[in-house]
Structure 1
Amino acid sequence: MTTTELDLRPRVPATEPVMSLRGITKRFGAVRALSRVDLDVYPGEVVALVGDNGAGKSTLVKILAGVHQQDDGTITFENAVVSITDPAAARELGISSVFQDLALCDNLDVVANLFLGHEVTTGGVIDEEEMERRSWELLRQLSARIPSVRTHVAALSGGQRQSVAIARALVGEPKVVVLDEPTAALGVAQTAEVLNLIERLRERGHGVVFVSHNLADVQAVADRVVVLRLGRNNGTFNTRDISYEDIIAAITGATDHGASRNPFTEEPA
């Protein structure tokens, strides 16, 4: 079966993307990590970003998080061209990222991790009761299975820790949530727990960028799949219309949808 590129519109009703990337290019010295990459994210959809090691996924995620800035190309957020100069700028725009290391404080409880740096105060005093109430509310909305918000993060399972990291990303009510390999190194039950969280994010109306090597997870929750190969787009597909074999073909280059030249050695046309 020959796979063709499909309509970029998501399965959920939305007229305009909340975020659009056009022609994103990033160089590190003589190495071009990204070459003219495009990406659209709509409200209430999960976009899976897949590709082999070195395809450019991590570089693109770091540009969205404000860790790197693109050399060329534009980022449009809510119909305005924006510049993501640092992580603070990304958060202010409404882009929240959860990286593989999670960056949680093991010696603090769930409440303290959720509001670290964003503590709720009343009369100049930290309001522990209000933060605890908000923590339970947010975790319930995500259907997260946390025994107690006063449990230290060190005592939580891998899936529960991922739940806390995702919940923390939502404290500022972002429009887009970027998840970098959220199911890596998790067991079957913990992976199911995290995939359920991703479903809840979609139901809440967030645009989700889901970076993963696990194609079973991708097919379970993603509305669209964006394939990067050699730093370029190599296909954007509706998940319900593409097979596992088709995704593999786009990742490896057996099916070419736009990555026919090596961006490390050739200038873009």
Structure 2
Amino acid sequence: MTPVLSLRGVSKRFGAVSALTDIELDVHAGEVVALVGDNGAGKSTLVKILSGVHQPTAGTIRFAGQDVTVADPAAALALGIATVFQDLALCENLDVVGNVFLGRELSPFALDEVGMELRTWTLLRQLSARIPSVRVPIASLSGGQRQTVAIARSLLLEPRLILLDEPTAALGVAQTAEVLDLIERLRERGLAVIVISHNMEDVRAVADRIVVLRLGRNNGVFYPDATNAELVTAITGASENAVSRRRARHMDAAGTEGAGA
């Protein structure tokens, strides 16, 4: 099956600084790929390349089987690449409908309020969203509900690939579960999804594959059954770390208990 997105040898330099080097990545329809790595690993730079904020210094981007140039954010949207950044870019003084259609109102001369409201409800229902009304201001919504609105807005132009930048950051347990459910809904709709996250438990809960970046390079592809020790080793480059030591202690304790039985 042809990947929705395929990167080959993608690199990005800022003067003398190499932010990304020879990145390889494939993402298929109906697949959630988690992109993980330490601060400075290149995750944000890669997201900005895919969303049209930066252009790669070298390499090729193929989208839906065609070589493409993502010249700017408008070009990314036109291709079918939608990005939900960590700050969500929502206007707190506007209601849900106003945020979903911000800059994309259905009529250039007179707002079609009824049409926009119906379309907003349709998008929210597709996500099984828990939002009491599309006419409440964003300021009154929880963090999870705001993430839902931002994702619904990204679906407005019917993208094929959605990038989610730290979608569960600073959320409570219940709100995190709500957002992870939303990601499952996106997969069920057949969309390709890239999730950038530091939370390994969230990553394992929804990802089909986990791609590790380290110092701007690919450093392994893992699956949800990977251990914390394996992931931390790939992310940090150190086989000896707190996670591996804790795991060794637990194994030693289990062995001691078994010997004494």
* TM-score using structure 2 length: 0.89
> Does 1:160 pair with 2:160?
no
Amino acid corresponding to residue 71 of structure 1 in structure 2: T
Amino acid corresponding to residue 144 of structure 1 in structure 2: A
Give the Å deviation of 1:125: 2.6
| Max Rg structure | 2
1:129 to 96, 107, 114: 114
Report 1:55-70 matches (<5 A): 55-70=41-56
Give the Å deviation of 1:93: 0.4
> Does 1:243 pair with 2:234?
no
Q: Which runs of 5+ in 2 are unaligned?
A: 240-261
CA RMSD between the two structures:
1.1
For 1:110, the equivalent position in structure 2 comes to 96
For 2:74, the equivalent position in structure 1 comes to 88
Q: Kindly tell me the number of residue pairs found equivalent between the two proteins.
A: 239
Amino acid corresponding to residue 249 of structure 1 in structure 2: T
Query: In the aligned structure 1, how far is the partner of 2:17 from the partner of 2:98?
Result: 41
> Does 1:139 pair with 2:112?
no
Q: Identity of counterpart residues, as a percentage?
A: 67
1:252 to 228, 236, 254: 236
Query: In the aligned structure 2, how far is the partner of 1:24 from the partner of 1:164?
Result: 32
> Does 1:48 pair with 2:34?
yes
Give the Å deviation of 1:99: 0.5
For 2:167, the equivalent position in structure 1 comes to 182
For 1:30, the equivalent position in structure 2 comes to 16
Corresponding residue SS for 1:138? helix
Give the Å deviation of 1:248: 1.1
Q: Which runs of 5+ in 1 are unaligned?
A: 1-14, 256-269
Query: In the aligned structure 2, how far is the partner of 1:178 from the partner of 1:138?
Result: 17
Query: In the aligned structure 2, how far is the partner of 1:247 from the partner of 1:163?
Result: 28
Give the Å deviation of 1:154: 0.8
Amino acid corresponding to residue 246 of structure 1 in structure 2: E
For 1:218, the equivalent position in structure 2 comes to 203
